[in-house]
């Protein structure tokens, strides 16, 4: 009975030794895993088309631009990823007043990119803050520029005497961004939509209809005036051409009659007796018809020729 209460110290010591070994192995594995996690969590993988901005205590210490691997100091340095490519930002709608006192709603968009990541992080901190500042500048310049133009110059940019409105706005936005050193550049600012406020649409529509009707009537009046002018000019030319033709005809007729008389004279001068007989016969056409009564001596040459007698 006494032997059953005796504890084997050798077995107990062996068991404790094994547990200590497991704990030690577990700690080694944990430390190894922690090291692996630390290494990979502080590994910087730079991809194509992005910047990696490494900061230490809030200050930018370096910029990784080339694709590849890099490393940061654990727990001290942090990394921010910024895009290299062009980005599109949809600017909020804004209501402005034109030079001719018309209210209109402008909807713009901007194409931009990060040019200097260090300045962008130092002054704007985040992409969202950079876009906010860019939008404020765009709104300020758009309101200023469009306030100097009439409504029709805005909706028809080619009518503007100030050059391309979009190019001017883009240049001035970039100037303001550069002055404040935000490290971003705007490639283009474009108006994608111009609308009138709802309460103004009907009145403007009515006025536009009235203007179009007035313009149509003006065109009709101009057309009628041009038509009358062309008709008058044509009638004048026709009369002038007829007068010239009549004069030419009279000249030709006179020349023809003169030439005929010459030919007659030349022909009749060769036989005067034939000419006398021809003239007598011609006179019969004018003096004798179905009711003509002539009283002539029988020996009259006129009567003899009429009755068919000749001197021959």
- Is the pLDDT at 43 greater than 50? The verdict is yes
Look at residues 146, 148, 144 and name the one whose alpha carbon lies nearest to residue 194.
Answer: 146
Q: What's residue 285's pLDDT?
A: 67
Do 61 and 120 fall within a single domain? no
Q: Report if residue 168 sits inside a domain.
A: yes
Domains in the chain, number: 4
Q: Highest mean pLDDT: which of 23-27, 115-119, 280-284?
A: 115-119
176 torsion bin: left (phi>0), alpha (psi -120 to 50), beta (else):
alpha
200 within domain boundaries: no
**What are 92-110's pLDDT values in tens digits?**
888 888 888 778 888 889 9
| DSSP reduced 3-state for 311 | coil
Does residue 235 form part of some domain?
Answer: yes
**Interval 217-244: pLDDT, tens:** 888 989 988 889 999 999 999 999 999 9
Q: What is the pLDDT of residue 17?
A: 64
**Global model pTM greater than 0.85:** no
Write down which residue in 195, 224, 254 finishes a domain: 195
Higher pLDDT, 310 or 52: 52
Distance, CA of 263 to CA of 261 (rounded, Å): 5
- Of 72-86, 158-172, 293-307, the range with the highest mean pLDDT is 72-86
Shared domain check, 178 and 98: yes
Range of the domain at 308: 273-312
* Final residue before a domain boundary, out of 161, 195, 229: 195
Q: Are residues 222 and 278 in the same domain?
A: no
Residue 144 CA: distances (Å) to CA of 46, 162, 207, 217: 42, 14, 27, 37
Q: Residues 154, 195: contact at Cβ < 8 Å?
A: no
Tokens of 2: 């006494």
> Contact at 8 Å (CB) between 114 and 120?
yes
Q: Do residues 54 and 92 share a domain? A: no
Same domain, yes or no, for 126 and 172? yes
């Amino acid at each position: 009975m006494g032997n059953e209460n005796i504890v084997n110290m050798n077995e107990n010591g062996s068991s404790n030794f094994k547990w200590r070994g497991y704990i030690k192995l577990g700690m080694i594995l944990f430390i190894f895993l922690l090291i692996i996690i630390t290494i990979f969590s502080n590994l910087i993988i730079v991809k194509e088309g992005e910047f990696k901005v490494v900061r230490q205590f809030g200050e930018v210490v370096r910029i990784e631009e080339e694709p590849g691997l890099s490393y940061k100091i654990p727990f001290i340095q942090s990394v921010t990823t910024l895009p290299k490519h062009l980005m599109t930002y949809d600017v909020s709608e804004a209501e402005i007043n034109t030079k001719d006192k018309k209210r209109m709603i402008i909807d713009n968009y901007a194409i931009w990119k990060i040019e200097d990541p260090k300045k962008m992080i130092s002054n704007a901190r985040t992409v969202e803050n950079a876009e906010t500042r860019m939008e404020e500048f765009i709104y300020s310049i758009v309101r200023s520029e469009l306030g100097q133009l009439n409504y029709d110059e805005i909706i028809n940019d080619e009518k503007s005497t100030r050059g391309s409105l979009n190019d001017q706005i883009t240049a001035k936005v970039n100037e303001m961004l550069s002055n404040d050193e935000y490290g971003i550049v705007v490639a283009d600012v474009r108006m994608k939509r111009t609308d009138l406020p709802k309460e103004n649409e009907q009145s403007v529509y009515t006025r536009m209809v009235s203007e179009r009707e007035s313009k149509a009537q003006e065109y009709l009046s101009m057309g009628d005036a041009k038509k009358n002018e062309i008709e008058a000019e044509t009638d004048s030319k026709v009369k002038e051409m007829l007068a010239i033709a009549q004069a030419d005809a009279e000249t030709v007729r006179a020349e023809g009659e003169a030439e005929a008389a010459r030919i007659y004279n030349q022909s009749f001068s060769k036989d005067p007796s034939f000419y006398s007989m021809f003239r007598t016969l011609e006179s019969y056409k004018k003096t004798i018809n179905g009711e003509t009564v002539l009283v002539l001596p029988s020996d009259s040459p006129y009567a003899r020729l009429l009755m068919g007698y000749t001197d021959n």
